[in-house]
Amino acid sequence: MEFRHGKIHLNRPRWGTVDDRRIQRCWELIRSTDDAASSGHRLAENDIIKFGRSQFRVRQLSLNKEAVILDDGSASKICRVDPAEFDELADKPCRVCLQEGSSLEDPLLAPCQCRGSIRHVHLDCLKHWVRDRLGISNGDAPFVVGGNTSSLSCELCKTAYQTRIQMGRDILPLVEIDSPFIVLESCNDHRHHVLPVLPGKSLKVGRGHECDMNIHDTSISRVQATIELDDKGFMLKDGGSRFGTYIKITKPMLLEAGQQVSVQVGRTILQICTKAADNSQAEELCRQEVESCQQHTTPEASLNGDDAHDTDPTQSPRASNGRDCVIGALEHSSPSQEDFLSCEGH
């Protein structure tokens, strides 16, 4: 815990040398409560979500009609169209509609490694084929691309199509979704889950057949979580799952007065709550915490981190528990009318 500018911030633990800084995994636990302010998490791009043992990264959030971006954007992989070559493509046929010629409105592409008379295809023909292949021709529906069997690949040469086509300075999309949507990338097999979210309707995530995002993992509940859309964006809520839904903490988290959060560090879950305190309460809290830590805190009582090696307990934060963090936050604060933290381990 760190106290600065009159506020308490939660930082993910770090230890090790400057050249080898190991980072302890730290997760925020989302619970299903009656309090609307603490019952969900406002999603942002690059958030890492953990459902059971499965982890997903938020690749894209869109509130309007927008192109779906599934590639990494590297210049060597973007399909390019040169308008100066339209005259050379005047007698080249499209392998879908068999018509010849290329134009600015409907250019001919070479999106894969096929050669000969099936090398080129019109952009509109390719868009229609992709939407039919993904099952979104008659409306926006969730679909999955990537992995070993990608739906966005050529049926002949198996080359994956890029979702962006560059023609001059313009970037043309290959797949567009009319409704707001979210793209989640699996951290294990790098498959992309494209999930349209309609206002007033919850998108279900779990291993049940009724879920919009179906994950085959026994550590995930039948209805693990839901994603809803409101005026401020996308809200992730836990669906009463058995093991909980987690958001990885990658930057300092501001703890507001009266806010209650649950944080998992290693195998320990801490329930943290901020409360207002006067001088006498703050001094009494510090005295009680110091006495309690002196009596009960030992290096053997702390847990090893998820991805950190054993180090000297005298030089590692693992030699202390969450109570030391509370004391450190209070020592940096002024003694009058400041906030203090209450931590309860599970």
- Asked if residue 329 belongs to a domain, the reply is yes
Do 169 and 315 belong to one domain? no
Q: What is the pLDDT of residue 291?
A: 66
Query: Could you tell me the maximum CA-CA distance found in the chain, to the nearest angstrom?
Result: 88
Do 195 and 239 belong to one domain? yes
Domain boundary among 129, 147, 177: 177
Which has more pLDDT, 49 or 135? Answer: 49
Do 141 and 172 belong to one domain? yes
List the CATH number of the domain containing 201. Answer: 2.60.200.20
Does the structure show a pLDDT above 90 at 63? no
Q: What is the pLDDT of residue 302?
A: 35
Mean pLDDT of the 185-213 span: 89
Mean pLDDT of the 210-234 span: 91
Q: Output the average pLDDT for the chain.
A: 75
Do 218 and 288 belong to one domain? no
Does the structure show a pLDDT above 70 at 40? yes
Mean pLDDT of the 240-257 span: 87
The residues pairing with 164 across neighbouring beta strands, listed in sequence order, are: 173
Mean pLDDT of the 39-52 span: 90
- Asked if residue 276 belongs to a domain, the reply is yes
Do 164 and 228 belong to one domain? no
Are residues 163 and 174 in contact, defined by beta-carbon separation less than 8 angstroms?
Answer: yes
Taking alpha carbons only, the member of 156, 162, 157 closest to residue 175 is: 162
Work out the pLDDT band at 58, boundaries 50, 70, 90.
very high
Q: What is the pLDDT of residue 112?
A: 86
Instruction: List pLDDT tens digits, range 308-326.
Output: 333 333 333 333 444 444 4
Work out the pLDDT band at 333, boundaries 50, 70, 90.
very low
Does the structure show a pLDDT above 60 at 273? yes
Do 203 and 295 belong to one domain? no
Work out the pLDDT band at 189, boundaries 50, 70, 90.
confident
3-state DSSP call for residue 281?
A: helix
Q: How far is CA 97 from the centre of its chain?
A: 40
Which has more pLDDT, 197 or 338? Answer: 197
- Asked if residue 319 belongs to a domain, the reply is yes
Does the structure show a pLDDT above 50 at 336? no
Domain boundary among 126, 150, 177: 177
- Asked if residue 34 belongs to a domain, the reply is no
Mean pLDDT comparison of 36-45, 71-80, 162-171, 221-230, highest-scoring range: 221-230
Are residues 53 and 183 in contact, defined by beta-carbon separation less than 8 angstroms?
Answer: no
Count: domains in the chain = 3
Are residues 242 and 250 in contact, defined by beta-carbon separation less than 8 angstroms?
Answer: no
Q: Retrieve residue 56's tokens.
A: 């997903």
Do 188 and 106 belong to one domain? no
Q: How far is CA 158 from the centre of its chain?
A: 29
Q: Which domain holds residue 140?
A: 66-177
- Asked if residue 203 belongs to a domain, the reply is yes
The residues pairing with 173 across neighbouring beta strands, listed in sequence order, are: 164
Place of tokens 């009960």: 296
- Asked if residue 92 belongs to a domain, the reply is yes
Does the structure show a pLDDT above 80 at 177? yes
Do 76 and 169 belong to one domain? yes
Instruction: List pLDDT tens digits, range 89-135.
Output: 888 899 989 888 888 888 888 888 888 888 889 999 998 888 888 87
Q: Retrieve residue 178's tokens.
A: 């009319």
Query: What is each CA distance from 98 to 94, 120, 230, 285, in whole angstroms?
Result: 5, 10, 46, 80
- Asked if residue 223 belongs to a domain, the reply is yes
Are residues 302 and 320 in contact, defined by beta-carbon separation less than 8 angstroms?
Answer: yes
Mean pLDDT of the 328-341 span: 43
The residues pairing with 2 across neighbouring beta strands, listed in sequence order, are: 9
Torsion region of 231: left, alpha or beta (phi above 0 gives left; psi -120 to 50 gives alpha): alpha
Do 232 and 329 belong to one domain? no
Are residues 174 and 164 in contact, defined by beta-carbon separation less than 8 angstroms?
Answer: yes
Do 77 and 155 belong to one domain? yes
Domain boundary among 193, 219, 243: 243
Are residues 11 and 252 in contact, defined by beta-carbon separation less than 8 angstroms?
Answer: yes
The DSSP code for 168 is T
d(CA 271, CA 279): 24
Q: What is the pLDDT of residue 292?
A: 57
List the CATH number of the domain containing 86. Answer: 3.30.40.10
Instruction: List pLDDT tens digits, range 147-170.
Output: 655 667 888 888 888 877 888 778
Do 71 and 171 belong to one domain? yes
Of 146-155, 165-174, 329-338, minimum mean pLDDT range:
329-338
Strands of the sheet with 40-42, listed across from one edge: 40-42, 233-238, 225-230, 203-206, 213-214
Q: Retrieve residue 83's tokens.
A: 């308008």
Does the structure show a pLDDT above 80 at 254? yes
Q: What is the pLDDT of residue 32?
A: 59
Work out the pLDDT band at 304, boundaries 50, 70, 90.
very low
The H or E element that residue 56 is part of is: strand 54-62
Q: What is the pLDDT of residue 71?
A: 64
Give the dihedral sign, CA 119/123/125/131.
Answer: positive
Mean pLDDT of the 260-281 span: 79
- Asked if residue 251 belongs to a domain, the reply is no
The residues pairing with 27 across neighbouring beta strands, listed in sequence order, are: 248, 264
Do 97 and 155 belong to one domain? yes
